[in-house]
Amino acid sequence: MRLARVAFAPFAVLGLVTARAGAQGYPPKPPEEDVVQVRARPPARSASDHVVDATQIENAPVVSSLDAVQLVPGVVISDRGLPGRAPRLSLRGFEGTSGQDVELWAGPIPLNQVSHLRAPGYADMRLLMPEVIKEIQLQNGPYDPRQGDSAIAGTMRTTLGLERPGFWGKGSLGSFGSRRVFLAFAPEANGEERSDTFAAFASDTTDGPGGTRAGERSSFVGQFAEQGRNVVFRGTVALGAARFGFPGYLPQGDVERGAYPFAATSGRVGRDRTTQALIGGDVIFSVGEGTLGIAGFAGSTKTSFRQDLAAWVSESGALVPDDREQVNDASMAGVNAFFRHGIPLVSKRDAVEVGGGARLDTIEQRDTRLLADGTRLATLSDASIQAMDITGYADGSFYPVDRVVVRGGTRLDALSYAVQDRVRNEGVERTSQGFNLGNKGVVDVATGRGVHVVGGYGEGFRSPQARELAEGERTPFVKVRSTELGLRFKAGRTLFASAAAFGSWLSQERVFDAATRGTAPAPPSRRLGATGSAVVREGPFGSSFAVTYTDARFTDASDVFQEGSRVPYAPAFVLREDAFVTGRLGSLAGRALRGRIGVGLEGFAGRPLPSGESGKNLLLVDAVAALGWREVELSVNATNLFGVRAYDTQLVYATNPLASAAPPPPSGNVLVTAPTAVFLTLQIHLRGADGRKRERCAEYEGTCSE
């Protein structure tokens, strides 16, 4: 099903982010002549829910969209040195290979892919430019009935828009032959700024450290947003293509003995390629005393990986090359609807929301073993998959007594699969169907002086890897039960802080397996931990700090993992600290001279490996400094400021570079973090006469002459 066939796209994507217009737990007011519907941020469903806003993103040392995501508390992103594929995203002790445990949205468009060859829930955010990300909202845990497939560790949603209207142009030069161009515009008319309506283009290229991670990426993201007296509309389109070299993972022992850390495995560079074409939108109406939303989305994504990890492997008693090509070609289309209305059950503030929808995915995937000259040796997997998810949910907000609100409901997902596996049983279709019921509930108690005590329980799920389903099997959902108790504190716009303890129990793990180039089933597991964060803003200064600890262990055993052993790859400790100062430095030729400095520190420790050992800890510092005058700004951005030699990725698997009949046991293999890199960016921002006047007023703290 291709984009051209989806006529309803301008209505796309419901609820999760969009439909929460006016959904703060109060029933909407009847429409009046002066009433305007607005899109509002949903109320927190857990003590640790967090928002990274435009101010933090703008002033942090952000080079790519992944740097913006890294600002979210508890998030660890690895495989960042392989920009042609979705990175590994860990949250709260969930290893999250390529996003399999986090539900991800780009504006109104879902990014997670069903039953991807590499990992169920595969999601790539790299097509977004950091300049068009206005806000990132994190919902930890599965405590909201609107959360769906892959919301195991939580849900992350981005709000799109430019910083300010006008014409934007950027050009960047940096280390390793990096070059980037960014062009964008957002309209303004009759004194109204419309930065949510925009179009943006970006293209970048790099040779990468050592020349083994070279590649190019180009993206276009556009959005049209309109608001009337009784209706809010948003339509978004995002297209991108990228191709980058894959150097492979180097033996950890060789690197630690002084081998060149940016060489390609076996001297041969593989490749990662991806294309994405996504479209979505939603319309939210005021209907009587209620709110109605109609939404839809569609997309086509193709990923192609060529990788050589082990050099030689044993297959059917013979040694064969481990060079493999994996191709996953998928399309999706979906529609959703909801209705929210005030219903005074225990108080006049009570409200109920009922919603439903469906999503159809069609997938073609192939895994091929190659000879040294690139020709086919054997087909390991060749399958066609159709997956359908039909959803219904009910959610309510109730105020039984003063200062107490109870939110929650239930969600039912029915999943149906049809699989044609042309390798295992050519020409025969396997079918499977089943449903999952998940209950959610949160109690929020306002104790006074800006302090809330929030406790919640939620059940979430991840859809299965379709190729593993048997004929007639009831669809086996991966289920999670999660609970959290904590405090939230807010003092105006100056301070926000939270602290929480949490626990999660997962019915089946999926752990990355280098032999299959994807995730493989593993025993059930549990996670216990705690998290804390604080955001401070005062005048030109800003700071945010977050720390998370998680103990993740298997609660059963398998042939590979022992009961009680730690779940591999996700770090136990995660730390993030950002600080910035920005403001007017003086004046030049009658116009303000502006400056800003931002520093970001990220670190993690206690990353378990399948061998039972701990991986190497990481602590990196990035920084940005910028000077602006009139329409021009010059900035310098430095990553890995102190040149720390760390491991972006650590995997444990067996390699056999000498084609030995008795290959050595599994050992560490690493992707080394890029050394210090510096990027110089020249930015030009042009506005009309009204816009320039408003900016001059802002420069002089709101005082200006006509």
State the DSSP string of 527-558: EEEEEEEEEEEETTEEEEEEEEEEEEEESS--
Q: Alpha-carbon distance 119 to 112, whole Å?
A: 10
Identify whether 706 is part of a domain.
no
Contacts of 467 (CB under 8 A, 6+ apart): 115, 365, 381, 383, 385, 419, 421
Q: Is residue 705 part of a domain?
A: no
Locate 688 and state its tokens: 């009309």
Q: Does a structural domain hold residue 109? A: yes
Matching residue, tokens 């995730």 = 519
List the one residue out of 623, 486, 350 whose CA is nearest residue 50.
Answer: 486
The values of phi and psi at residue 489, to 5°, are: -135, 135
pLDDT tens sequence across 73-120: 999 998 888 999 999 999 999 987 888 899 999 988 999 999 999 999
Task: Give the DSSP per-residue string, 37-63.
Answer: ----PPPPSSTT-EEE-HHHHHHS--S
So what's the pLDDT on residue 318? 86
Distance in angstroms (rounded) separating the CA atoms of residues 700 and 279: 41
Do 321 and 304 form a contact (C-beta atoms < 8 A)?
A: no
- Given a cut of 80, whether residue 338 has pLDDT beyond it is yes
> 704 pLDDT band (50/70/90 cuts)?
low
Q: Residue 568: which pLDDT band, with cuts at 50, 70 and 90?
A: very high
Q: CA neighbours within 13 Å on the CB side: how many for 664?
A: 12
Specify the pLDDT at position 31.
39
- Any domain includes 486: yes
Question: What total of structural domains would you count in the chain?
Answer: 1
List the CATH number of the domain containing 499.
2.40.170.20
CA 217 to CA 191: how far, in whole Å? 36
SS3 674: coil
- The single-letter DSSP state of residue 98 is G
What is residue 373's predicted lDDT score, i.e. its pLDDT? 84
Is the CB of residue 687 less than 8 Å from the CB of residue 166?
A: yes
pLDDT digits (tens, 9 = 90+) for 601-638: 999 999 999 988 889 999 999 999 999 999 999 999 99
- CA neighbor of 610 nearest in space, from 474, 479, 515, 477: 515
Q: Which residue has the tokens 């209207």?
A: 165
| Per-residue pLDDT, 426 | 73
Question: Is residue 704 assigned to a domain?
Answer: no
Which residues form the domain of 202? 3-699
Residue with tokens 């984009």: 3
Is the pTM here over 0.75, yes or no? yes
Is there a domain that residue 231 lies in? yes
The H or E element spanning position 624 is strand 618-629
Residues 524, 112, 276, 204, CA torsion sign = negative
Q: Say what the pLDDT of residue 535 is.
A: 97
Instruction: Determine what percent of the chain is predicted with pLDDT higher than 90.
Output: 80
Residue 68 falls inside a structural domain: yes
